[in-house]
Amino acid sequence: MKSINLDITHRCTLECSRCERIRWTARGEKVPGEDMELYAYLKILNYFDHINFCGNRADPVFNPNFIQFLAINKKRNKSCEIHNAATGKNLAWYQRAFKANTDAVWHFGIDGLPEKILALMDYLKRVIYIERIKRASSYMKQCYCVRRWV
């Protein structure tokens, strides 16, 4: 199986201290990159069977075409994994994304140092994470909650 990791946008709402984004944001500069367009994504799908949406300097959920990408993967029987840590999308958006491709595998990252993780997340944010994970598990075959500290 041929697989590829794609960074499909340049956006993220978080500011993880060791993220590659800091190189630019610390200087007040725009993080380079752009949203991958549909035509480019379709070309890539001609060559790969598995797509890993794991940004190195962005979170894939912020590409405006992302739900469409998921739906195309489902239609063309291409497997995919999504690594999502950033907040900013509401639950209705997640519901649309989960429905677009019920075979996709989601990894939800909860960022922060292990001993500080709950202190870092206010009550509302925790509720949103838990609700997002509950909804994902009601649609998806596989969904993971991962802790990471970047």
Nearer to ligand SF4 (CB atom), residue 42 or residue 120 = 120
Nearer to ligand SF4 (CB atom), residue 10 or residue 78 = 10
User: Could you give the 3-state DSSP secondary structure of residue 114?
Assistant: helix
Nearest to 94 by CA among 35, 124, 137, 36: 137
Residues in the site for ligand SF4, rule: CB under 6 A?
12, 14-16, 19, 21, 55, 57-59, 85-86, 111, 150
Tell me the C-alpha to C-alpha distance, in Å, between residue 127 and each of 15, 60, 106, 139.
Answer: 21, 22, 18, 19
Question: For residue 63, how many other CB atoms are within 10 A of its CB?
Answer: 24
Nearer to ligand SF4 (CB atom), residue 72 or residue 86 = 86
d(CA 31, CA 89): 20
> Least separation, in Å, of the C-beta of 125 and ligand SF4?
14
Q: Looking at the DSSP assignment, which residues form a beta bridge with residue 146? A: 109
44: left (phi over 0), alpha (psi -120 to 50) or beta: alpha
> Least separation, in Å, of the C-beta of 77 and ligand SF4?
29
> Least separation, in Å, of the C-beta of 83 and ligand SF4?
8
Nearer to ligand SF4 (CB atom), residue 15 or residue 37 = 15
> Least separation, in Å, of the C-beta of 111 and ligand SF4?
6
